[in-house]
Chain A
Amino acid sequence: MLKYTFGRILSGLVTIWFIATATFLAMHAVPGDPLMNEKATTPEIRENLARKYGLDKPIAEQYVIYLGNMVQGDFGISFTQQNRKVNDIIQDHFPVSAALGILAITFAALGGILWGALTALYRNQLPDIIIMFLVILGISVPSFVFAALGQLLLVNINQWFNISFLPVAGWGTFAHMIVPSLVLGLGTMALLTRLMRSSMLEIVNEDFIRTARAKGLSPSRIFFQHQLRNAILPVVTVLGPQIAAITTGGFVVELVFAIPGLGRYFVQAVQQLDYTVIMGTTVFYGAFLVFMVILVDIIYGFIDPRVRLK
C-alpha cells in the first residue's frame, strides 16, 4: 500500500510538471502582449516593465525561472492588479470555490447513492420510471440552464410568499451556498444515480446475494449489508474525475450566482490576459485535481481490499 501510494504521488508530480509546461507553452503562444494594456507609452517604459516582469529574457530562461518559482510555491504578481500576488488571489478565492464544490459533491454523492438504490429497489415500477426520467433530464440539460432556472425559482418563491426564503445571489452565509451547490451537483448526481442503479442491478445476480438469501438473512439486511455496500464501490471510483468536473463546472454557477470564487476570477483573468494569474490558477487547479484523483484512489484501496492485494 505504501509503495502504491508513493508511486501514485510520484507520477502525480510528473503530471503536474507536464501541466505547468503545457500552460507555459500555451500562454506564450497567445497573440498579443501582456503589456499591451499597460500605459507603456514610450519604448523606455515598455522596456522597464518587460524587465520588471522578466519578459526581456529568452524564453528558455523564462521557463526555468517560472519552474523554479513554482517549486517554491510562488506564482508571481498579477499583471493587472500590480500589488497583488497570485498566491493571495488563490488564497482569497479558492476556499469559496472549494466550499461550494465540497457541498456540491456531497449533495451529488448522497443523492446519487440514494436515488440509485431506490430505482434498483423499485425496478421498472413508478418510482424507478420517475427517477430515471429526471436523471435523463439532468444529463441532457446544460448546467447554466439549471443555474438560471434555480435563480428564477428562488426569485419567484421569495416574491410569492413575500419572504426571503433563500438569498438569490451572493456569498457569505450557509444559506447562500445551498441552491448554487445543488445546481452544481445536479449533473453529477444524475450520472451517479445511473451508475448506482446499474451496479445495484448487477449485484443482485451475484452468488453471494443468493447465498445470503439462502441462509435466511432478512431482505433489509441483504439490501443494506451486502447489496448497497458493494454497489457503492464503482461510484467511489468515478468520484475522483467527477470532483474535477464539479470544480471546473463551478465557473457557470459562480458567474450566475455572483459568487466570488476562483472560477469567476479565472474567467476574468483570461478576458484581461493576466498572464501570471492564468498560469497560476491553471497549475494550481491542475495540481489540485491530480491529487484529488490520487486521494480517491487511495481511499478506494482502503474500502476495497481487492485493490490493495494487487
Chain B
Amino acid sequence: MIPHPELQAADFTPEPSTDSLEQLSRPSLSYWQDAWIRLKQNTRAIISLYLIIGLAFFTVLGPFLWTKDPSAQDLDQISQAPALPKTALLVSDYEPWTPPNVQGHPAEPAGYPDNLDAVTNFATVGTPNTQSVRFTWSPVQDAGGYSIYRSESKPNGLQGLGLPLETLTAGNIVGFEDRLNLKSQTYFYSIIPTDGLDEFEVVTTLKVTPVQSITVSQALERGLIEASDAPGRSVSLAFHPFGTDYLGRDMLARLMQGARVSLFIGVVAPFIYVLFGVFYGGFAGYLGGKVDQFLMRFADFVVALPFLLFMILFKIGFGIGPGESGVLPMLVALILLLWPSTARLVRGQVLKIREQGYIEAARLLGGKPSYLIARHIIPNTMGVILVTLTFAVPSAIFTEAFLSFIGMGVAPPTPSWGSMCNEGVKTMLSHPHELFFPALFISITVLAFNLLGDGLTEALDSKMRSRE
C-alpha cells in the first residue's frame, strides 16, 4: 500500500492560459484571397491582366479620346503608312500647262540619224509636288522625239527604267508633265531621245522627290484652310498615327471601333454560354439519373456538330438584313454551339463534389439542398468556371476573326479586327500595316487571355495550395 502524499492546495497551481497558443499566427485566408496571392506571384499572368485592362480602356474610352470618325475617308492620305503628322503644300488649282516649244528647232529630223546625244539640262520646272511634276530639257540635235520613264528605284543605265510615261514625237517639244498617281516619295525619271520611232541607247536620269501638296479647292472642301489663304503656305493634314486603310479611313479609329465588335463578341458570347452551361450542367449533375443521362446525351450531339460549318449555317439561317452589322447572329450562333463543353465540365465537377466528405458532413448537420448548392457546390466549381471563361474568350475572338476573314462574319462597313485583316490581306505586299495592326491586336488579346488563363489554372488549383 503506497501512502498517499499529503497534498496541499498550493500543489494545484493553474497552468497559464493556452489561449495564445491556439490563436493563428497568420491571418486566415479565404480560397480567393489565397488564389489572388498566388496569381500575383505569376509575372506573366499579371502582365496579361494589365494588358487586358489596357485593352478594355482602349475599347471603352478610346473613341472618346481619339474622336476621329472611323468611317470618314481622308482622300489625301489613302493607304498611308503610320507616320508623324504631315503637312502639305497649298498649291493653286490645276491649270493646263503647255510644254515649251523651241522655235527654230525642227520637229522631225531631216534623215534618220545614226547617233543621238544624251539629253542635257533635264530639270524640273517649279516645285515638284504631288499634283504635278513638270520637266524641261534642252533639245537634242536631230532628235525626232523623246521617251520618258518613271521608276521608284534607281535605274542601272538602260535597265530598270520603270513605267513608260510618254513618248513625244516631236524634237522641238521639250517639256512634259507627270500627273500619274504621284506620292510623296523619291522617283527616278529617265529620258531617252528618239528619232521619232526608235529609242537610242543614251539615257539621262533625274531624281525627283515631289512635295505632298493639296489644291486650294480640295483644302477648302475638307475645311483645312480659310478662304483667304493663298497658295504657297503649308497646310497640316489630318494626323493618322496608325496610318489609313485602302479607303483612307483612320486605322486607329477603326481599330477602336473594331475592338468594340471583336471584344463584344469575344466577351459576351462566352459569358452567356458559360452561364447557360453552368446551369445546364449543374442541373444535370445535381439531379443525376435519367434526367442527367438525357440532358448529357443531347449535349453530346451538339458537341459533335462540325463547329465552323454550323457557325456559318446558323449565321446565314438568321440572315443579315441590309444595314445590319451581323454581330447578333454571330453571337447567337456561338452561344447555341458552344454551351455543351461548359455543361459537361460543370456536371463532372458537381458529380465529384457531391460525393465529397464535407458535403456529406454538411448534409448530416442538417444542410438543405439549396444551402448545399449555394454554400458549397457553386463556390467550389467557381474556379473551374472562371478558367473556362478565360480560355473561352480567345477562342471566341478567333472564331469571329476567322469568320470575318472568310467573309462570313461581320458585314462591312462595320469594322471588326477580323474583317480588317480580310481587307488588309489584299494589300499585304504594298501596305503591310493594314494587315499588321488588326492582326497584332488579335494576337495580343488572345495571348493575354491565354496567359491569364494559365495563371488562373495554377492559382486556383487547390492541389497547389496544400503543397505550400
Residues on A lying within 8 angstroms of B by beta carbon are 14-15, 18-19, 22-23, 26-27, 29-32, 136-137, 139-145, 148, 152, 155, 244, 248-249, 251-252, 255-256, 266-267, 270-271, 273, 278, 281-282, 285-286, 289-290, 293
Contact = CB atoms under 8 A, between A and B. Distances in A.
Contacts of B451: 136
B432 to A, nearest CB: 8
A286 B450 contact: no
A22 B316 contact: no
Interface stretch (B31-39, B76-84, B156-164, B399-407): B399-407
Interface in B413-468: 418, 421, 425, 428-429, 435, 439, 442-444, 446-447, 450-451
Interface stretch (B56-64, B210-218, B307-315, B373-381): B307-315
B317 interface: yes
B128 to A, nearest CB: 30
A140 B425 CA distance: 18
A273 B309 CA distance: 14
Contacts of A152: 428-429
B398 interface: yes
A273 B319 CA distance: 12
Contact of B305 (A141, A143, A267, A286): A286
A27 B405 contact: no
B306 A286 contact: yes
A251 B312 CA distance: 12
Given A145-B439, A155-B429, A248 B304 contact: no
13 contacts: A18-B304, A30-B317, A139-B450, A140-B443, A140-B450, A143-B402, A144-B401, A144-B421, A145-B435, A145-B442, A148-B435, A270-B316, A285-B306
Given A22-B305, A148-B425, A252-B405, 19 more contacts: A15-B301, A15-B304, A18-B301, A18-B304, A19-B306, A26-B310, A26-B317, A29-B317, A137-B443, A139-B447, A142-B421, A142-B443, A145-B421, A145-B442, A152-B429, A248-B306, A251-B406, A267-B408, A282-B313
B408 A148 contact: no
Q: What's the interface size class on B, roughly? A: 35 or more
Contact of B307 (A15, A142, A248, A271): A248
A1 to B, nearest CB: 22
Contacts of B407: 267, 271
Nearest to A11: B300
Contacts of A282: 306, 309-310, 313
Contacts of A32: 319
Interface of A is mostly: helix
A6 to B, nearest CB: 18
A281 B313 CA distance: 11
Nearest to A156: B429
Query: Which of B319, B405, B418 is the most central at the interface, judged by chain A CB atoms within 10 Å of its CB?
Result: B405
Contact of B312 (A141, A252, A270): A270
Given A15-B301, A142-B398, A278 B405 contact: no
A76 to B, nearest CB: 17
B439 A142 contact: yes
Nearest to A273: B316
A26 B406 contact: no
Contact of A248 (B308, B317, B418): B308
Interface in B258-316: 300-301, 304-310, 312-314, 316
Interface of B is mostly: helix
A219 to B, nearest CB: 28
B313 A142 contact: no
Contacts of B450: 136, 139-140
Closest 5 pairs between A and B when the two form their complex, measured CB to CB:
A140-B447, A31-B319, A248-B308, A29-B317, A18-B301
B103 to A, nearest CB: 49
A237 B211 CA distance: 63
B440 to A, nearest CB: 9
Interface in B299-357: 300-301, 304-310, 312-314, 316-319
A142 B310 contact: no
Contacts of A26: 310, 313-314, 317
Contacts of A142: 398, 401-402, 405, 418, 421, 439, 442-443, 446
Nearest to A151: B428
A144 B310 contact: no
B308 A251 contact: yes
Contacts of A15: 300-301, 304
A255 B319 CA distance: 23
Contacts of B442: 141-142, 145
A252 B418 CA distance: 12
B313 A144 contact: no
Contacts of B300: 15
Nearest to B444: A140
Contacts of B318: 29
Nearest to B301: A18
Given A19-B305, A286-B306, A267 B313 contact: no
Contact of A136 (B312, B425, B428, B447): B447
Contacts of B313: 23, 26-27, 270, 278, 282
Contacts of B421: 142, 144-145
A182 to B, nearest CB: 18
A290 B319 CA distance: 28
A51 B316 CA distance: 24
Nearest to B428: A148
A286 B317 contact: no
A267 B406 contact: yes
Contact of A30 (B310, B319, B444): B319
Contacts of A252: 402, 405-406
B161 to A, nearest CB: 19
B311 to A, nearest CB: 9
Contacts of A281: 309
A22 B306 CA distance: 11
A94 to B, nearest CB: 14
A286 B307 contact: no
Contacts of A267: 312, 406-408
